[in-house]
Every structure is written in C-alpha cells, then in structure tokens.
Copies of this chain bind each other. A is one copy, B any other.
C-alpha cells in the first residue's frame, strides 16, 4: 500500500487536529496522484469529545458519539496502529505490528505530529492503580459499568459503612471535562438509584475536588459561581483549594488531610506528552514541541506539530494557545495549507485564530459559558450548547443519530444495563496507604500479593489480642497459602507505610504454578518453611520471623 513513486504526507494522530489536517489536505490536493496522504491512529474512529460525558450517563448511545475515520477522511490511507518511534533524521515512523511480528516502517516526505497528550496519573500515589480515566470511549464505558456495578453491590450489601463507601463518587479536576463528566455521573446515579430498592438516595455522595479557588477557571468568576451554585443545588459536594494526595481501593486522600471513603476516583487532572514525542531531538516547552509561527518544527523543515502536543503561541497575546478542539481544528487547516505551500514552493503563513468562546454543560438541562463575549447560563445556555456542538458533529449520519438519542432520552427512561466485555485483569497493581488492611485473617483467599515496595506487618489474632508475627518488605510474597490449600487466611496483613503490590488472582496463580516449574518449586519451598516455622512457634509459644 506504500508506493515509492509518490510523495507521502504522514499524519500521526487522528484526533480533532489530525483529522482536520487530513481533510484540508484532501480538499486542496484532490486529484493529485503524485501525493499520498496517510494517517496513523490507534483506533479506527474518532470520538466527538464534547459529548463523551453524555455517553457515561447513557444519554447518547455508545457508538453514537464516535465516527469511523474512513468516513470523514476519504482519500487517506489509514493505519490503525500505535506509533512506537519517530526517526526524524531518516524520515521514517515505526508503528506497532499487526498479526505478523515485523514492525512496519513508514517513510514520509512531510510529517504532521498531532498525537495529543496522555493522562498523567503518575503524579498521585495510587492513582495509576485505582483511578478511572475519562478521555476516550473505552473510558466512558468502563466508568459507566463501574457505576452500575457499585449500585448493584450496594443494593445487596448490609454493612452500612461499606455501602456508603460504594455510593461515594469522587472526581478530581474542576476544568471543563471534569465538570461535564461529574455532572453526568451525578445525574445518572441519582436517577438510576431509584430502581435499587435498598439504596437510600441520601447515602449517595458525589464530590468534586478542585485545586483552585473556583471551578471552570477559564470562565469569568460570575459564571464559575453560577456553575458551583447549580451543581451544589444538585447535591454535588465541592472541595476547593485541595488536591488528591493518594488513592487506594477504598479511600481518596486529599492534601488538606481529609480522607474520603470511596471506591471510585475519576481524574481529569494533568496531561503528559506521548513518550514517543519526548524522545525527539527537538526543543520542548513543558513537554510540548516548540514550533514556529507557521507551526513547523524549526529543527526539521517538513515536520509540523499541532494540537495538544505542540507549544503554539497566540498571535495576539503571545500566550500559549489553549489545548482545545477549536484551536486544534484551525491549526490542522493551517498546517495543511502550509504543507501545500511547501509542495508548491510558496511561502507558508502564520497561524492566527481567535476562538468564539467556551461552554460547559452542567447536566440536566443546564449549561454555562461565554460566547462571542456574551455570558450565558441555565437552560438557554444548555440549548445553545446543544445547538453549537450538534452543528459541529462530523457528518449528517452522526447528527441524525444524536438527535434521535436525545429524543429517546426525553421520551424513554434511562438505560442501566451493564455491558461486560473486559475479562477481569489477572495480574494487577494495587496501592495502599499506611494503616490499611490488605488481607484479613479468616477471609477466603482470592489473591496472592508480591510486594513492590513499602513495609507490612503480619498479625495473628490470639487469646488476649493480636500479635505481630512478621514484618515483610520488598520482594516478599503473602497470601499464597490460602490459594494453594483453598483455606481461609491464617493471618491479617496490615501496611506500616505506603505500599505497592502486584496482585495475582487465584486462576492466574494456579496457571503459573502449574506450568512454570521454578515458580512451583519456590512456592513449595516457601510453604514448607512457613509450615515448619509455624509448628515450631506453636510448640515454643514464641514469636518467629516467617510464619504467615
């Protein structure tokens, strides 16, 4: 598919910016058989981000908000692959492989970098392990399923404290995406909870944590206040001027010292550049590629960058352009025109654009925003929000589908069927803060843990209280006996410090032990050792180091 006679324009990334570039290139170069336009993207479709939040709550159908890239980018060769390496000196891009293990090498004459950013969950302890993303369609489906799963579990849970923990939902980040998502989560759980006879609506807590003094800081203060009042009236709790400090399977710790008991932490905080771009020998500004006014990478003529992964200065203010779809789309058009200029030998032109404004949906028929300098709020803003974004949907098909979904939402009750497709992960990482119980004596065994770091104590209940029978650190295992023998846990494991572990579930443990002889031998040795120590301890009534 990669001919050698033609000049090749290669666009990396099929978000708003990449798609806009390809479309503008196709329009300008239509009919030129000497030029090939190619696009590499991880998915075969593009998500219309502004409506992603409505997917969580089921207002819009799962597939309604995504458009197949082939439909919006006719004339481009699409590779549904991940970009693994960019070699600017040799003008080639290496992508992930398909069914055959050889890695494809894509040569280019002109390169457009539109790879966006990734969520930066590494900055908060435990967020990588326990936090939920809210960036693409898969995230929305996972989040939706989690909400339904928690309502189902809460409905049959008799422990009131655990039930409240299940019914507490925390969002970190009060920017546009955080506010829109938490508003939809709030509407969804409060609406659907009515179908759960044993869930008391008063037990539901939806909490928005935001680092700044007001949410939606990009909007004027009066509109932020309006949004806060509206969300508070709908029972969303605000935690301002504080941040996430750590997340575990059961708690969210905030920097102000408070601890929220919750099983659901969603985060829209922080963005980190695609690691492929970090490796490039080009100037970067906080992880974004520095480009000139024409959006070209100065060190490598013929290479352009745009969207969230580029550091672009506004032509009027001299400030960096915001990472919004509005800008990315215009940047894409500009890059396409400048590539055409480069092909035709004419001069490129600088990027210049002023946005029309910003809006945020607040759930249930309310929105807030500033459009062409005018402030709008409430249901007129909501109507405007829908009108504006609806008009920007790619293609009539999408517009019809979304209009029908909105109509259904008015006429029909909300759907809350679970869609289980992801097989449960079998080797996971988990994070614990100091003082948490990892496993409890007497419980059946479901997991084995390997310590990555930190310190835990192994405690056994005996007459006259508990006693510490071991302290374990990095590299130690625990919990394997209960899996091997299908017995209840013989001791409690509690963290002394912040701890990270690798958890292996029963089935994976059995598979590994059955087929990997060295692992089986090591487990058997360890278990013999522990049993011997246990017997010795029973005889001597003394404390031993290795018992659990």
- Residues of A at the B interface (CB closer than 8 Å) are 1, 43-45, 58, 61-64, 66-68, 70-71, 77-80, 97-104, 137-138, 141-142, 148-149, 152-153, 155-159, 162, 166, 195-198, 263, 397, 400-401, 404, 408, 411-413, 415-423, 425-427, 439-440, 443-446, 450, 452, 475, 502, 508, 511-512, 515-519, 521-522
Q: A100-B162, A412-B397, A421-B138 are in contact. Are A516 and B515 (CB under 8 A)?
A: no
Give the chain B neighbours of A521 by CB distance below 8 A.
518
- A450 near B502 with CB under 8 A, answer no
Which B residues lie within 8 Å of A67 (CB)? 417
Whose C-beta in chain B lies nearest to the C-beta of A138?
Answer: B421
A530 to B: closest C-beta gap in Å: 15
Q: Of the candidates B77, B166, B416, which one forms a contact with A68 in the assembled complex, judged by CB atoms under 8 Å apart?
A: B416
A156 to chain B, nearest CB (A): 5
A-B contact pairs, 28 of them (CB 8 A): A1-B155, A1-B198, A43-B417, A44-B416, A45-B418, A58-B63, A63-B419, A68-B195, A68-B417, A71-B413, A77-B156, A80-B418, A99-B153, A99-B263, A100-B443, A101-B444, A101-B445, A102-B443, A397-B413, A400-B408, A421-B422, A426-B426, A450-B515, A450-B516, A452-B515, A475-B517, A502-B511, A518-B518
The reply to whether A70 and B196 form a contact with Cβ atoms under 8 Å apart is: yes
- Extra A-B contacts (19), CB below 8 Å, given A58-B63, A103-B444: A63-B419, A68-B415, A71-B195, A77-B156, A78-B156, A80-B152, A80-B418, A101-B443, A102-B444, A138-B420, A141-B421, A397-B413, A421-B422, A422-B422, A475-B517, A502-B515, A516-B519, A518-B519, A519-B522
Contacts of A79 in B (CB 8 A): 156
Give the distance in Å from the alpha carbon of A44 to the alpha carbon of B153 in the complex. Answer: 11
User: In the complex, what distance in Å separates the CA atom of A519 from the CA atom of B443?
Assistant: 28
Given A77-B156, A198-B1: A419 in contact with B137 (beta carbons within 8 A): yes
In contact, A419 and B62 (Cβ under 8 angstroms): yes
CA distance A157 to B2 in the complex (A): 10
Q: Closest B residue to A477 by CB, please name it.
A: B516
